[in-house]
Amino acid sequence: MSDWTIDAPRTLTIDQPVDRLKIRTMTGEVNVVATDGPTRLEVSELEGPPLLVDLKGGELTVTYEDLVWKDFQWKHLSDAINRWRTKRRVVVSLAVAPGTRVELGSASSETVISGVTGPVTVHSANGAITLVRLAGPVEANTASGNVQAHSVSGDLKVNTVSGELTVFEGTSAKLKANSVSGSMTLDLAHDCATDVSLTNVSGEVAVRLPAPADAQVRANTTSGDVSSAFDELRVAGGWGPSRSPAPWARAPAP
């Protein structure tokens, strides 16, 4: 077991094995990148209370003393933010083994996670989330922060209220997204089967598929419009909730 208290910019090299990473921040930036070398932690900016870093049984935790994981569940987030009136901002970067499991929670930190093959979970109120070349299952939850996924091949699940979702060169076998008013733009680029499920109340939805494509697409909306440019896909529904197509659509390779 190892413990560090960081109250000023500092770099740590951790020679012990790390297979799980937990990060809890309020504002600032968090960057996590996969590496083949030892785990490294760099705090380049720090304002407010010190960060506590703890390594126990392969689990590395980076957080504040009064911050726990449940505070970043949506039903607890507003209460947690009201408790922490003291300004706190940190810019932290971590290099971890590719297979590390990553769990990250923040109020409004800008987050970038790249190259990780282990499971990734991110909770944020309004900080932007950028996911790059992730191969394991990914779940991202945000109220108003935008989510961008670049070349993500693991199963992807995204929940937003008003944040926008953009997927570039997506190769996930399963992709599920839910939003109230945030727009969804998906650019899928691969030749294997894909299962896409999108639910939106009033936001715009656009899905681009490669040709030929082997995909199942389900898009549901309450007040927004659903349209399709594929001859094989038909839109069903009139006034009120619509579904495109019902109950599912498949665009086969010609």
Bridge partners for 23 per DSSP:
62, 104
Q: What is the pLDDT of residues 82-99, one digit of tens each?
A: 555 557 899 999 999 999
Residues near 60 by beta carbon (within 8 Å), at least 6 away in sequence = 14, 18, 20, 21, 22, 39, 41, 53, 54, 96
At 239 the pLDDT is 37
Count of H helices and E strands in the chain? 1, 22
Q: How many CB atoms within 10 Å of residue 227?
A: 10
pLDDT band at 75 (very low <50, low <70, confident <90, very high): low
Band of residue 151 on the pLDDT scale cut at 50, 70, 90? very high
* The two structure tokens encoding residue 223: 């007040």
Structure confidence at residue 192 (pLDDT) = 61
* Strand residues in 161-222 grouped as ranges (E): 165-170, 174-179, 184-188, 194-200, 205-208, 215-221
C-alpha span between 180 and 98 (Å, rounded)? 33
**51 falls in which pLDDT band (50, 70, 90)?**
very high
Instruction: Quote the CA–CA distance of 35 and 195 in Å, as a whole number.
Output: 31
Residue 187 and residue 190: Cα distance in Å, rounded? 10
* pLDDT for residue 2: 81
Determine contact, residues 212/224, Cβ cutoff 8 Å.
Answer: no
Residue with more model confidence, 234 or 209: 209
Q: Where are the beta strands (DSSP E) in 76-193?
A: 89-96, 101-106, 110-114, 120-124, 129-132, 138-142, 147-150, 156-160, 165-170, 174-179, 184-188
Looking at residue 71, its pLDDT comes to 55
pLDDT band at 73 (very low <50, low <70, confident <90, very high): low
Residue pointed to by tokens 């309020």:
26
pLDDT digits (tens, 9 = 90+) for 169-204: 988 989 999 999 998 888 887 666 678 888 888 888
Average pLDDT, the chain: 83
- Listed by start position, the domains of the chain span 1-125
Band the pLDDT of 212: cuts 50, 70, 90. Answer: low
* Residue 79 dihedral angles phi and psi, to the nearest 5°: -65, -40
Predicted confidence at residue 242, as pLDDT, reads 44
| pLDDT greater at residue 144 or residue 219 | 144
